[in-house]
Amino acid sequence: MMLMLRSPLRALVLALALVAAVPAVAQTDADVLRAKDAFDRGDQRRLDALAPQLAGHILAPYVTYWQLKLGIDAADAAAVRTFLAREAGSPLADRLRVDWLKSLARRGLWSDFDADYVMLPGEDTELACFAAQRKWQLEGDAALASIRAAWFTGQSTPDACEPLFAALFARGDLTQDDVRARLRLANEAGNTRLAETLGAQMTGNARITARELALVTRDPVHALAKGAFAWKTPAGRELALYALERSARKDAGAAHAAWVKWRDRLPAADRLYGNRRLAYQAARQLDPDALDWFRESGAPAGSVDEIAWRVRAALRAQAWNEVLASLAALPDAEQQDPAWRYWKARALATTGRKADADALYAGLLSQVGFYGLLAAEALGQGPQQVAALRSQPVTIDPTELRTFAQRYDVRRVTKLIELDLRADALREWAYIMREQPDERLLLAAEFARRAGLYDRAINAAERTTTRHDFGMRYLTPFRAEFTAAARDQGVDEALLYGIARQESRFVPDIVSSAGAVGLMQLMPRTARWVAGKMARTDFNPAQITSAGVNTQFGAFYFRYWHDRLGERPAITAAAYNAGPSRAQAWRPAAAPLEGAIWVETIPFSETRDYVKKVLANTVLYARALNLPYVSLTDRLGVVTPRGSDNATVASGSP
């Protein structure tokens, strides 16, 4: 579905007159879209035919980029370098440079590679391996050390890395132990194809054939329960661990019952590794035995993910000393994450070390969001008292605003959005915002707000470091529609805004990759279901992008599940993101659980982050809308066990 966001651009022209100096172009936007379609289809001939008539269009560089990218292996070096120089500092130049360098390396044109290579932020593995190949050619085997770390991944690596890995094996800098380590990473990632390749790469009695692996893959639970592995061989032990991983991912409880029958046949290191992986999967399934099974693996150790879930299992069990011990096992950089700083403070406070806890809480007050708010409340403060939440809007100079609007790259962003080339627009905007001081960021935010580009306004305002404008961060567009929906459906208006800010950033006709539409990101099937529940016989799918309809339907859907899931906003927000059946299944099985702990232990990282942001948004929107203050702690409340309050999820519900 094409998202034609023309109304914000009209608002920009009519209300601000910010782009009055932009010259008109004869070329049509439709031709740009035709050129993009030709590029997407790989139709070089059609693209080349369209390009000349778009030479004066503001998006002409995109057309040139599409031409060069499609024909990158035959592109003229001078043409590429001219483009890179002309578009320097833009996402187009950086993207083309990566494609160009990879093409040169594949064709063995190393002198050209040397001339054009620049290490870019976030350089991908393939280009890093090509660069390492060239360094190896020039400097010899000493250059190989830089690429060794790329071996240790559960994902497949590009072909460009293979000659380097082969050289490392030949030198003895990668060994069979390293193959086994990567085999386990592949197993943990569920990458069966890579596991097959690595199993075959093992030697002697450590070698695992594709057939052996396939037999276990077919029914890992049965294989583990049967225990018919050659326990005395390295291959047999790895197959057993492979079966354990795949079994535990399906049902940790059943896997544990089978595992305990056989695990003593493994060497201690392998047995402890298996215990840890089983406990990790159990923790992600919210199994109440997860912490006990982690204890069977010894002191906290393993990957960051494994230790993090040991922390969560300890939180779920409210074993606060174990929370502290597990947090201490995280790498130093991870311990600085606001989540772990907050939970360390909670554990210290709960175990009688209030002064240390208060010092940690105080350090979190600079955080705008979930943990900053919780820390403030732990110290007896509210949002009005937190320094990080003091709004300091800038005074906008109209001349500076016009100058910003007339920038070529800014006009390019607005045109990209108008033509629904949204991914490109987001990349362009990110480049414009790089390394800007707070005042310039807030100027850009004001430009975007007045243009109706609310998502870009929020994006710019969120980047500030010391001077914040919370009216800009927490915009309230479509106020009439949100107020009416909140009133009509009996939902907190601040909560509706909190959801919409997270779902759509107030782009009214945005469509997600999954097909969710509009401010409240409703799936068409859900919209039809809501229309039926509301007896809206006049509803048709085209109405879903209407701000009025979308907010009403979203509010109805939220309230419907809020009533059926125990009237707890955290659970309902999780249901809105991941579905009501999952949210219901994540509730504790027995004893009630503090809401903050429940949120921290949501198994899906996307949903966990979503719920935190929605609830923090809600507190800050209540402040922005001058609504009665309800603390985040109170909004989180206590999550009661499944079945304790007649909470039900009907089958077939969207």
Which residues participate in catalysis according to the annotation?
A: 503
Q: How far is CA 477 from CA 416, 491, 500, 510, 622, in A?
A: 22, 18, 10, 15, 15
Q: Which two tokens stand for residue 409?
A: 């790259």
Instruction: Find, among 517, 518, 541, the residue nearest to 529 by Cα.
Output: 541
Alpha-carbon distance of 196 to 193, in angstroms, equals 5
Alpha helical stretches, state H, 534-627? 547-564, 569-578, 580-585, 595-600, 605-624
Q: How many residues does the structure list for the chain?
A: 654
CA distance 169 to 377: 55
CB 225 within 8 Å of CB 256: no
Q: Which residue, among 490, 492, 493, 484, has the nearest Cα to 546 in the 3D structure? A: 484
Quote the radius of gyration of the chain (alpha carbons, Å): 28
Residue 68 contacts residue 458 (beta carbons within 8 Å): no
CA–CA separation, 169 vs 438, rounded Å?
50
Separation of alpha carbons 599 and 578, rounded Å: 13
Which residues, at least 6 apart from 194, have a Cβ–Cβ distance to it below 8 Å?
Answer: 154, 155, 156, 182, 186
73 vs 526: CA distance, rounded Å: 46
What count of Cα atoms within 13 Å lies in the side-chain half-sphere of residue 631?
18
Residue 22 tokens read as 């932009």
Unique residue bearing structure tokens 């990458």: 191
User: The tokens of 342 are what?
Assistant: 């907050």
Residue 461's nearest CA partner among 478, 447, 477 is 447
d(CA 140, CA 137): 6
CA angle 537, 539, 544 (to 5 degrees): 155
Helix (H, G, I), strand (E, B) or coil at 342: helix
Tokens linked to 60 = 């002409």
CB atoms inside a 10 Å sphere around CB 585:
15
- Look up tokens 């800038």; give the residue: 394
Runs of H (alpha helix) within 73-227: 77-86, 91-106, 110-116, 125-139, 162-171, 176-189, 192-201, 210-218, 220-226
In whole angstroms, what is the distance from residue 339 CA to residue 337 CA? Answer: 5
Calpha distance 364→346 (Å, rounded): 12
Closest CA to 439 of 397, 383, 405: 397
* C-beta of residue 178 within 8 angstroms of C-beta of residue 152: yes
Q: What separation in angstroms does the CA of 433 have from each of 62, 455, 472?
A: 20, 14, 16
Measured CA to CA, the distance from residue 507 to residue 322 in angstroms comes to 44
Contact 97, 84 (CB under 8 A): yes
Tokens of 494: 């601040």
Per-residue exposure over 107-135, b if at least 16 CB sit within 10 Å of its own CB, e if not: eeebebbeeebeeeeeeeebbbbbbbbbb
